Amino acid sequence: MINRIIYFGICILISLSVSCISNVKSIEGTQPNILILFLDDLDPDFRCYGNTLVTTPNIDKLASEGMLFTRAYSAATVCSPSHTTLFTGCYASTIGAPHHRSSYIDKLPDGYSILTDLMSDAGYFTVNFRSKGDLMYQKLYGATAKTDLNFDRGKPENNRESGKEVFKNLQTIDPENIETYFKGGKWNSKESNQPFFAYANIETGKKHGFVPGRKWAKERGIAVDSTKIKIPPHYSDTDEVRSVLASSLDAVSHVDFEVGKFLKALEKSGYANNTLVILMSDHGATLQRHKQSLWTSGIHIPMIIKWPNKIKPSEINEELASIIDIAPTCLNAAGIKIPKTMEGLDLLSNKPNNRKYIFATRDGMNNFFDCSRAVISKEYQYIHHFFPELSFRGNGYAKRTLTFKSMLELYKKDSLNELQRAYFKPSKNYAFELYNLNNDTEETVNLALNSAYKEETLKYQHILFQWQKETGDKVLNARKLLNVEKVPEGTKVDNLLKLKR
């Protein structure tokens, strides 16, 4: 009798095991949902990245449940080329659309693809989120639906910064009611078993969010104490600098609150267990020497990926990563073939382990010409300025939005040190810059000026030139086109392109 009980017990266990294995296979064979939380203008300033002044419980929790990348970078220093990279898996320079707010291309070159099209063709429900309300409300709460592509701009269907509407659906949400995020509206047109590819562009942390973020944080008793902020060596310690930095960090806490709504709505909807969540920023904060700059302060970004049952909790990834990798990562997760034209790597594969270098570009800003490139390894960053005669702040946005007025006044009085003066000079200090990222995290010592590092500098210069040759990155020969020895400040990209024709 006992033997028969044991026998049937074993049979039941085997049956349950087979059933479990069958269920696992079924789950593994299901295409995951994908949610991208794209945060405009943010440094890695969350608690999970070591900043203890901010309050970021939602993003910290996401990191504890997934993979945090310590060496993630933007492929460009400003919105549109960065967004273009995200949706194509290519450097904006490769497809001939590197300039911000100028010289858009009508369409992608032959053979290149848009991530959303590939997802849609594979049966995904593609959806972008937009908060209801006026423009400023959208920029502070929920999502803006911003795509901001440098190709096929078309009519701005979503808002003033939209490119072609690359998503099939636009979900209008009420940030005060998370029930509207993954239910109702356009979401009702999603088939019951259809996987989704969703995108939320969150602008809460940008410059326009600093003052509201400060107010928001004070109301909750979590405002940053400006006296506790460590002032970077490139900044002078003024009341304005401390005030702006404190407000920028309060805006980060506000971003976390908005991110939390999406994560809670995802959990409440029942989708969380089969959703790959990717959170990152497009480039550095809306601060002097950050946004529009190729120093690490301008291109080192936060990146966190969570995929239940696929990624171990609290995993730290120290490999080189870039926005350019997001498209191939999404495609591979969904079981979709990655086009050969995509230059990025699947971050969840072993391929990034063998990567030695990544690249970043800075070109025309708001139609004001410039051109610089950066090569980043785990040890060094090399920056090459093709037109050092042009200043770092040679466009209206940089002068108006990215400049500390108090530092500008100190510069005029010749009261800044050489490090602090660099941003304000009428031309760049050097044509080449080389920094040791391990020993000089603030990038204060340009090793390219040291003869002992001449060989290292030339090595990285060669790596850059080789990459440009391989990717077809052609720099406009502005001096030749204008027949000048030095390109004048204020030269327009579009005018150079007309001369080229």
3-class state of residue 68 by DSSP: strand
Fold of 31-351: Alkaline Phosphatase, subunit A (3.40.720)
pLDDT of 158 above 90: no
What is the model's pTM?
Answer: 0.93
* Predicted confidence (pLDDT) per residue in 210-231, tens digit: 999 999 999 999 999 999 999 9
Assess contact for 291 and 77: CB atoms under 8 A.
Answer: yes
3-state secondary structure 168-212: CEEEEEECCEHHHCCCCHHHHHCCCCCCEEEEEEECCCCHHHHHH
Q: What is the pLDDT of residue 237?
A: 98
Could you report the per-residue pLDDT of 277-318, keeping only the tens digit for each?
999 999 999 999 999 999 999 999 999 999 999 999 999 999
Q: Please write the tens of the pLDDT for every residue from 43-57.
A: 999 999 999 999 999
Q: Considering only 60-64, 133-137, 382-386, which range has the smallest mean pLDDT? A: 133-137
Residue 13 has pLDDT above 50, yes or no: no
Average pLDDT over residues 407-424: 97
The predicted structure's pLDDT at residue 106: 86
First to last CA, the chain: 93
Is 429 or 10 the better-scoring residue by pLDDT?
A: 429
Q: At 9, is the pLDDT very low, low, confident or very high (cuts 50, 70, 90)? A: very low
Using pLDDT thresholds of 50, 70 and 90, give the confidence band for residue 360: very high
> pLDDT grade, residue 102 (50/70/90)?
confident
Query: To the nearest whole percent, how much of the chain has pLDDT over 70?
Result: 92
Contacts 24+ apart (CB under 8 A), 268-273: 268/178, 268/179, 269/181, 269/182, 269/183, 271/33, 271/182, 271/196, 272/308, 273/308, 273/309
Q: Is the Cβ–Cβ distance between 478 and 369 less than 8 Å?
A: yes
Between residues 6 and 440, which one has the greater pLDDT? Answer: 440
Query: Is it the case that residue 429 has pLDDT exceeding 90?
Result: no
Write the CA distances from 483 to 138, 308, 452, 480, 486, integer angstroms. 46, 59, 36, 5, 9
CA distance 346 to 358: 14
What are the residue ranges spanned by the domains of the chain?
A: 31-351, 372-500
**Which tokens in the block code for residue 19?**
């059933």
What's the rounded mean pLDDT across residues 150-173? Answer: 75
pLDDT value for 161: 64
Look at residue 23 in the predicted model and tell me its pLDDT: 30
Q: Work out the mean pLDDT of the chain and round it to a whole number.
A: 92
For residue 101, is pLDDT > 90? no
pLDDT in tens, 115-142: 999 999 999 999 999 999 998 999 999 9
- pLDDT tens-digit map of 453-487: 999 999 999 999 999 999 999 999 999 999 999 99
d(CA 418, CA 234): 9
pLDDT band at 155 (very low <50, low <70, confident <90, very high): low
